[in-house]
Amino acid sequence: MSDSQLDQLLAQQHQQQDIVDVDEPVIKLVIFTLGDYYFALPGSVVKEVLPGDETVFFVPGLPASVEGMINLRGDVKSVIGLYALLQLQSSLQKQSMASSAILIIHGQHMRSAVRVDRLLDVVDIAQSQIHLPPDSLPEHLRPYVTGLLQLNDVAVSVLSIDELFSAWQQGQG
C-alpha cells in the first residue's frame, strides 16, 4: 500500500466517524460511614465539616434524633443523628467521637448539622456511575436514597438531604 492510498483510507475513515469530545458531567460527593454502611451527600449541600470532638450542648426536651446544639461562630445549629432517621442499628452508633465528624448541611428548607461516624472522602464522580437504587434496597431507606454507586468495591448510597430533613420535620426520625 502506498502512502497516498494510506492517506486516502485514513481520510475516509476520519470522515465516517463522528468524534464527539464531550466532558461527562460530574457531581461532587461527600462520602461517609454510619456503622458498617457507606453513604454520600452531594457536595453542594455540605457547607462545612467540623471535627467530631466539637462541643455539642445537650438541651432537654429535644427529640431523640437530636444529639444537641452547637454554637458555630454565633449561629446555633441542631446536631441531628442519622441513625434514627435511616433506621440503622443503634448498637453501631457507639463510635468514638474522635473519629466522627459533624457536617453542616443546607437543604432547601432547613439548615442543620448531622453527625457521621467517619468522613471518608470528597470525590468527583461521573453522573453515569450513579445508578438508580435497586429494588432490593430496604424499604426504610427507599425514600432517602436517590442513587447507588460502586466506589473501591463498596456500595455507596447517595442520600437526599431534603427528604431526610422533611422526614425529620414530620417527626418520623
Residue 14 lies in a domain: no
Residue 115 has pLDDT above 60, yes or no: yes
Mean pLDDT of the chain: 84
pLDDT at 7: 72
C-alpha–C-alpha distance, residues 108 and 110, integer Å: 6
C-alpha–C-alpha distance, residues 101 and 80, integer Å: 12
pLDDT at 1: 60
Please give the residue that has the higher pLDDT: either 97 or 95. Answer: 97
Domain count, the chain: 1
Domain that holds residue 113: 23-169
Residue 14 has pLDDT above 70, yes or no: no
pLDDT 10s digits, 27-39: 999 999 998 899 9
Report the predicted TM-score, pTM, of the whole model to 2 decimal places. Answer: 0.79
49: which strand partners?
A: 103
C-alpha–C-alpha distance, residues 32 and 123, integer Å: 11
Residue 140 has pLDDT above 90, yes or no: no
CATH code of the domain covering residue 31: 2.40.50.180
